[in-house]
Amino acid sequence: MEDTADDVRLLAKSALQGIQAEESCCFLRHMLRFYVETVFKHHTPSSSLIERKTNTLANSFLSIKRDLRQCHAEMKCHCGEESRTMMKKIQNTFENLTLRAAAVKAIGEIDILIEWMEQDHQN
């Protein structure tokens, strides 16, 4: 409800579906880092309920990120040009908004990321 930048998207379902399977681990690792280090740090929840839910998500993302770090260390997490380009585009869009609007936008679109994670894991 707080997202007023209707004409801007950080995450597009079609773009996420275009991430090749061999790069999905790397892309996810970058996305989790982006959310943990940038989005959650700059998000100011409008209620204590949203704050609790956001904290729970942040902790879950940290846990997944730790697991992916091991995968990356063992060179099982290929990072190609596609994942780098996609992350750069997301970060540029984020940076072109005000910090508050960008954080609200990213939190509002988190369902797209989670849905992509679920679909990618099933395949």
What is the structure's pLDDT at 76?
A: 67
* Cα 69 from Cα 71, distance rounded (Å): 5
- Residue 57: partners with Cβ closer than 8 Å, 6 or more residues away: 40, 110
pLDDT in tens, 46-75: 788 888 988 999 999 988 888 777 776 666
Q: Kindly calculate the radius of gyration of the chain based on its CA atoms and give it in whole angstroms.
A: 14
Please name the residue that has the structure tokens 């380009």: 85
User: CB–CB of 24/120 below 8 Å?
Assistant: yes
Query: Minimum mean pLDDT among 23-32, 40-49, 65-74, 80-89: which range?
Result: 65-74
The mean predicted confidence, pLDDT, of the chain is: 84
CA separation, residue 18 to residues 22, 58, 81, 83, 116 (Å): 11, 25, 13, 10, 11
Domain limits of the chain?
A: 20-122
**What is the third-level CATH fold of 20-122?**
Growth Hormone; Chain: A; (1.20.1250)
Is the predicted pLDDT of residue 120 greater than 60, yes or no?
A: no
What is the structure's pLDDT at 81?
A: 85
Stretch 16-35: mean pLDDT: 86
Is the predicted pLDDT of residue 106 greater than 90, yes or no?
A: yes
CA separation, residue 77 to residues 30, 80, 104, 116 (Å): 11, 10, 30, 17
Supply the DSSP symbol for 37.
I
- Residue 42: partners with Cβ closer than 8 Å, 6 or more residues away: 99, 100, 102, 103
